[in-house]
Structure 1
């Protein structure tokens, strides 16, 4: 990835579904402004805001999304593509990469 590359940004208007549980994930989002509701099987799990990340688990383990996300307010996000994520992950310590995979596997097992 080029060091001076500008990251993509996206705005979602209040009420917009951003992610759908069960779909294949090819990007994650870092919230710059606004609030996002995370739900699973129509049950709200959390409301997250500025500085928080969502959609990342599908990038780590290539499994379908385990939750849906909906914009509660107008939301501005930095888009993290699968390629960008993998480039950054490849630069990380192998021990940390292994830990990430274990954490995601444990979260998915607890949720099933």
Structure 2
């Protein structure tokens, strides 16, 4: 079961914004409102909770999805570990990507499933 590489051309076609972060810059903080998710175009992002790195996210990978999907506050903090560029997907952009590339939704569900399984197995 392999993931489809993320299509950044589709991001450009949809007018979805990119945002840059410097090393150690916080992208969001635990308990922030979560109205968007992110796709890493370049760089690396650490997902941190209670001082521990839960995951390092690199190019083509996503983070912040749960808050976008369920509307809840952020459950962790995301910090750029090197110069990083991300695509910022709000609900409208998310729906655009799903409509233009339905496999995006399945890939995202697979990523979330693997993340949940990993966290459950490593408690």
Q: TM-score, normalised by structure 1?
A: 0.72
Write the mapping of 1:80-99 to structure 2, written as runs, cut at 5 A.
80-86=89-95
CA RMSD of superposed structures (Å)? 2.7
2:24 match: 15
Partners of 2:93 and 2:15 lie apart in 1 by 12
| 1:89 to partner: Cα distance | 5.6
Q: TM-score, normalised by structure 2?
A: 0.67
Report how many residues are paired: 99
Confirm whether residue 71 of structure 1 aligns to residue 80 of structure 2: yes
Given that residues 59 and 85 in structure 1 are in contact (C-alpha distance below 8 angstroms), is that contact kept between their aligned partners in structure 2?
A: no
Partners of 1:20 and 1:68 lie apart in 2 by 4
Confirm whether residue 46 of structure 1 aligns to residue 55 of structure 2: yes
Partners of 1:65 and 1:45 lie apart in 2 by 14
Structure 2 gaps of 5+ residues are 1-12
Partners of 2:35 and 2:21 lie apart in 1 by 17
